[in-house]
Structures are given as structure tokens and as C-alpha cells.
Structure 1
């Protein structure tokens, strides 16, 4: 299969929304990228629309039911900080970076989700210290490219403040610029989280979110300049994309409180989960309910009665409920027994204490107890699309696709590199590719 470019650079601007396009069109570096680009302003995300599921769909071309990264974090009932799906081994099937490596290409990835311990040449994975005895530097070194990570931290570690934003994205951008100039990788995957972080903390349309987009414009400019200075711009394809949108929220749903009150979750004197028959796994805007034993008919009947009662009152915040079969048909986890979608303004948490339904207060926001905007909702939510911009070698200029899906991106990237992901849920976007 003919390769259409020597270098593919994919930049994921986490939480970039279709509604951000008017601002992007006014910013110098995004405007430069958009000029002569192939674009889609209405990209349908996947379900649940959480970061790790989305990014795995981007580089596999499959829905979560296929690649099995069905949410961000593992099912660990009662754990205050569950572990995330950090490791490449959690992905079922092949990925874009796997196929590139098999073809002898030089690969690089910076904070791309679900890549820890992947076979990537120049690699700093997205992973954080989740145990009191862990250090951030140590987990990054163990799960990425040892010497490369040490070198990037020697050069640019002063830019970081742990994993806080916007400093982390500044570090990632500096590492990306250096990697482009010194390594000239065939494939470079970059994940920038500043905008997502600001929207969670300050709200969807906040000035902090606006400022993050403007910082992203500067970061994009630095990457474009690096391509020019390295002499590979003419032989490169650059992709800028989002993974999901988000929505402001004012109320939380703590379904595990109701499951506990129904006797389906038992806690000890320290309010820790002692045993459970059913558990609500939050995706923020949606949630799974798992039975510990799928054959537990009594627990399932209790949950069905509870959900039926909740659905009768819109104030409870449940928009719709899917059965396990329907959940699989939506592309989400078919091993869940139920999937719940929150109404606009609501989101789910996994908390076990307090009121089952509560307003988010200013005090909650001040101490970081809850978010001000979240994602994870169904892609069928109105005005919830993200964006896709492609430009450079192998891309037909000035093409606008009315609609596409997030799962179309991986097969298209593979085709640009002359690779094949095999049978996928998504399709190759031939209409943007030069023949």
C-alpha cells in the first residue's frame, strides 16, 4: 500500500468542541493550519465519551466494545482513587503505533492515553503516581522510554509543576518540538489536556477555557515552526483533533448511595466497601451498573425497580437507561448490566455517602470535590460534536466533510502511513486523501 507521507503528527486537544471553531478561526496558528486543510466541524464521538476510551478509538478505529477500554478507570468498588487503564496491554487488538512499529517506522508518543509499556521508540506515557509510595518520575520512567524520558526531563523538567496544567502541556510541547527536530519520527502522537482541565474546574465557557485555547494556539505554532526548522514540513501531515466536548453541570447523582441503602453494597465501620452485589461505575455524564454475579436475579430485580422509580421523576437526573444488550449495541461495555445517561446539568459520581442527589455548591467547587463541566455523555446529546483538521502531504486541500465519526480517524491515519488496521468499525476517509 502506497505511503502518502513521511511524517504523521497527530495532536489531540482534549475537550476541543465544535463550538470552539469560531475562536480557532481567529487565532494565528490555527488559522494557518485551517487554510487549505481538510476539516470536519461535526465529528461524532463514542460512548462513553471519556478520554481513555476516545483516544483508544482514535488509534484503533474501533468502539470500546471492541478494544475494551470501556471507561477511564478500572472497576475497583470503594477505592477513593481507582487505577486508570494506563497500560497498552489493556487494549484488545492492534493499534496505529503497533502497526507503524511492525513496518519499521520510528514512533513517538507524548502523554497519549493507554500506551504505558507500549513498544514506542520515544515515549512518555500518560500515567500518574497512584500509590503513596510511588513517585511521578519513577512511574513515568518505568512505563515509558527510560533514557528519552530522563533526557526530556533534564531539558524541560523545569517547565512542569508535577502534572498540573497548564505547565504540563508546556513541557509536552517543548518535548514534542525537540523530538521533531532531533528524531524526525514517522509517527508522533501528542495529547494536550490544558483545555479539558480548565473546563472541568472553571466551566465550559469560562475565561480560563478561552485562555487555554489561546495557549494551545501558541503550542500549535511551536510545533508548526519545529516542522519548518527541521526541514520536514513538506513531507509531513499534521492532524489536529478533539476527542469529545463537555457540558456544564450543577447536580450530582450518587447512585451507589441508593444501592447501599438497598443492601446491595455493604460498608465497614470506616465507610469502606466490605462487599457488593451491584456497583455504579461513573463515566461522569453516563454510568455503568455492574452486578458482581450476573446470575444474581434478586439484585437485578432490585435495580430494575429502583431505576423504574427514578425514571418517573426528571428531577432525579436520569435521561435514559440501557440494558446490557443495548449498551453493547451502542458500542460501550456489553459486560455491564445497565448503562445510565444523565440529563443535561447532571453527572454521576461513585460516592457512597451523603444525599443521593445534591446540588453542587461553591464550597464543593472551591475544594475540588466536584467538577463544573464534564463529559462522558452519549454522542447523541445535541451540540456535543468535536472537530478534525488535516493538512499536508497526502491530504486534499480545502475539503470539508459534513460529518464523520471518531472511529474513522485511525483507519485514515493508517492509510496515510501506508498501513492497515484490519477490519475496523470506522472507515478510511478517502474523500480527504490524494489519490
Structure 2
């Protein structure tokens, strides 16, 4: 249903994503997050939230905002093979594509703009070039992209306010200075609240993900990162209070995935090189190649002749099934059950096989070297595995004027979030895979109540 508002909106939604905060941290007494726990006490919290496969940031955040699985929205992971370009396709870092090139479904911020709301987004994946975001800083890792692809007027305002946005790129890649990135995200959020008061604002905090990759789960560094992000959330809520907007704001705090500790590395492309299917550094002559999505991988058979491709796929399947480090293998007919495209859908990026690594194993798509299995891991903590594992479950909490108090929801799915937020916008998203969490409202939210001018 499309309602085109002509009058200013005096309602607000704040969405915060804490990258990598596993659900098990909510029961951990070592996690000091008073602002999040206060929000949970005053609102609702899910027992857990199941993410999507692969449990990788770009795919998950696309599911989060559209309410659909990757099969529908089109962002299949952090990395894919782009068959038309015969290249590795990076969603990670927004280096190759604008949002309109790859995200095939309406998002909650698209719907908000359609409803006449002002929108803001800071460090949110798959937002490069999004024309429905009024104030937009996508999740980049190169300063040049920040300087050229963020909303120009906002970027100039931030510079004039002497916020160090010229350091965003450095702070996004230098893990020693990673807290500064989330600090800057918070300062920009506070600036936007004070100067522009956007009706819908989405923030993505990255530090817990960074430190769990570097130091492992339940490390002292991970605990500190969660506490640090909680302090930043408190600052944003205080800014809303100071502006007189908190009482009008429904706040959603969630994460995208959990974490597992890793101790080994699986190199599928080394395996394929040993089989003669991959020519190191030469995509034109490579017939089989894999990309990593952390604890899982996608395998592409780059063969045009149908009979030869069928023969080669059987060989690839056998080689993977016999390899150490591979936990579960998935053939194309199983993809829809994973939320991935079936044959004939999204063929430019759809893999020929997907696999989950064994749970202590990280998938690396490095081609050099001779080891198929490394007895150490580049990262101490990892995600990307199947979302049904308890360790990979995410968090969901919400509070605000429209939301009931002191309620615990049974486990939900991450695709339920977008239809729920669409309710607050006074509209619906087209054909979502999830369902609105209608039990959380203080009173029934109907389109007529939220849009009285359209009765």
C-alpha cells in the first residue's frame, strides 16, 4: 500500500545494529551493557534471533532491511563470483556496486521515504548511492569512497563542524584505532539529531565484530568492545532526550550474527589448483574457483559446455566431500531451503555449490601456497556458518512509545524485523519472507491509525 504523505512526520525510529553480538552475551554476567539492558527492561527482547545463510554482514543486513532471504534480495554474501565480469565480486566495502545495482527489494528506508519520512544511515552495508537516504554515509574502507560517495551537503556540514571525517577510512581499516570509527559514527548521529532530526536513522557499530575476529569470543577485548558500544548507544539516546525526541522514538537494537572460535583454515582454491582446475592469478583459464564467506564458501564451475560442466561438477563435489575442513555440502536443488537462489535465478552471482566449514575452521580463498588445511587461522573468531547454530544466533530488543514493556518474545527470524518496522511507518513491504511481530505493540497498529489522513 502506497501512501504519499504531504505533511511533516512527528514520529521517529532509531535502528542500531551491533555487528557480531551473539545472543549468548545477553546471559553473560561479564557483559556490562547498562543502556541495552535498560532498554530491554522497558521494552521487549527476543529469546534469540535466527539470521540468514551465509551469516555474513552484507547478506544479513540486506535481509534485515528487506525482510527477505538472499534468494529474493540478491546480495548473496560478502563475496561472490561475478560471472559476467569473470571476477571476484565484492559487496564487502561497497567497492563495486551501488545499492540499486544489487539490492532487488524495497527496504524499510525506501518505504520510509515513500511515506514522507526523512532518513539517515551511518556505516550501513549496501547503501552506496541509495537515493532514498537523505543523509547517507555507507560502510566504506577507503577514504576516497567516503569523500566521493557520501551525501555531499552532509559531508561538508560535518567538516565545517570540525568532525574528523577525513579519518573515516583509516579508522575503518586500522584495528588499533577501530574504536574511533564507532566514536565517529556516534558523533555524526548526535550531529544529525541536533541539526536535522531525521525520522528514521540506522546506525551500524562494528567494534565487537572486529575484536572477536582478532581476539576471539568472550575475550577481554570482546567484553570491552560491547561495553564501549553500549556507551555510544547511551550517548545517542541522550541526544534524542536532549532534543525532546526520545519519547517519540521507537528504538530497535539488534545484531547480525554470533561468533565461533576458529583454529584451522581451509583453502579450497589451493585444492582446486592441485586438481588443475584453477590457474593461479588467471581467471580466464580458471574453471573452478571458490570465494569465502567466513565459515562457509561458494564454489563456481566456470564451464559453458553443459555436458562438460556436469562432469566437472561431479568431480568437484567428490573432491569437496573428501576434503578435511568441509562440514556440510549443498547442491543447487538444496539452495532454496537455505534462502539461496535456485537454478535460473540470479545466475550471474549464484554459485554451483555452497558449503559450510567444520565449526573450528575458517574458509580462506587465497590461491597461493600448497596447504589445503592450515593448522592455524588468520582470525581467532569467525561467523558465516549456518544460522541455526546456537552460537550464531543474534539479539533483538525494542522499546518506545508504541512498544509493550517487559515482554520476552520466543525466538524470531531476522527477516521479521523489516515487516515490523514497516508497521511503524504506516505501510507494508511487498512479499516479505518474514512476518511483523504484532505481539509487541501496546495497541494494534493499523494503517488507518498511522495514516489518519488516508481514512
- Of residues 211, 215, 232, the one that matches 2:224 is 211
Q: In structure 2, what is the equivalent of residue 358 of structure 1? A: 373
Q: 1:302 to 1:246 in 2, by over 3 A?
A: same
Whether the 8 Å CA contact 1:254–1:355 is kept in 2: the answer is no
**Which residue in the other structure is 1:124 paired with?**
137
What pairs with 1:252-263 in structure 2 (closer than 5 Å)?
Answer: 252-263=265-276
How does 1:86-165 map onto structure 2 within 5 Å?
86=94, 87-89=98-100, 90-119=102-131, 120-129=133-142, 136=143, 138-154=144-160, 155-157=162-164, 161-163=170-172, 164=174, 165=178
Determine the structure 2 residue equivalent to 1:133.
none
**Which runs of 5 or more structure 2 residues have no equivalent in the other structure?**
343-349, 445-455
Counterpart contact for 1:118–1:144, Cα < 8 Å: no
Distance 1:321 1:252, change over 3 A: same
Provide the alpha-carbon RMSD of the alignment.
Answer: 2.5
Query: Which whole-Å deviations, capped at 9, do the CAs of 1:95-154 have from their partners, x for residues lacking one?
Result: 11111111111100001100011021111111233xxxxxx1x31233221110232244
- Give the aligned partner of residue 16 of structure 2: 11
| Distance apart, 1:262 and its partner CA | 1.8
Q: How far apart, CA to CA, are the structure 2 residues paired with 1:6 and 1:251? A: 49
Q: Is the 8 A contact 2:99 2:129 kept in 1?
A: yes
Give the number of aligned pairs.
Answer: 416
- Measured after TM superposition, the shift of residue 321 of structure 1 is 0.7
Q: Compare 344-353 and 138-147 and name the one that shifted more.
A: 138-147
SS at match of 1:39: strand
Deviation at 1:344, TM superposition (A): 1.0
Q: Residue in 2 aligned with 1:27?
A: 33
Distance 1:5 1:262, change over 3 A: farther
Tell me whether 1:283 sits opposite 2:274 in the alignment.
no
| Partner residue in 1 for 2:451 | none
Report the 3-state secondary structure (helix = DSSP H, G, I; strand = E; otherwise coil) of the residue aligned with 1:386: coil
Q: Is the Cα contact below 8 Å between 2:420 and 2:437 reproduced in 1? A: yes
- Checking the alignment, whether the CA contact within 8 Å between 1:5 and 1:237 is kept in structure 2 is no
Conserved 8 A contact 1:278-1:299: no
TM value normalised by structure 1: 0.89
Return the offset for 1:243.
0.4
The equivalent residue for 1:68 is 74
Give the match's secondary structure for 1:371.
coil
Contact conserved, 1:240 with 1:389, CA < 8 A, in 2?
A: yes
Bigger shift: residues 189-198 or 174-183: 174-183
Instruction: Tell me the equivalent position of 1:292.
Output: 302
Corresponding residue of 1:132: none
Q: Is the 8 A contact 2:70 2:76 kept in 1?
A: yes
Q: 1:326 to 1:252 in 2, by over 3 A?
A: same
SS in 2 for 1:156: coil
CA offset digits 1:310-340 (Å, max 9, x no partner): 5356xx0111111112123310244321111
Partner of 2:279 in structure 1? Answer: 266
Rounded to whole Å, the distance in 2 between the matches of 1:151 and 1:7 is 22
Distance 2:134 2:309 in 1: 48
Please name the residue that 1:380 is paired with: 388
> What SS is found at the alignment partner of 2:299?
strand
Change (3 A) 1:419 1:5: farther
Return the alpha-carbon distance in structure 1 between the equivalents of residues 435 and 215 of structure 2. 36
State the TM-score, normalized to the length of structure 2.
0.85
Measure, in 2, the Cα distance between the counterparts of 1:292 and 1:359.
26
Q: Provide the C-alpha distance between the structure 2 equivalents of 1:232 and 1:382, rounded to a whole number of angstroms.
A: 36
Unaligned runs of 5+ in 1: 130-135
Given the alignment of the two structures, is residue 337 of structure 1 paired with residue 347 of structure 2, yes or no?
Answer: no
Distance 1:80 1:292 in 2: 13
* Segment drifting more, 252-261 vs 350-359: 350-359
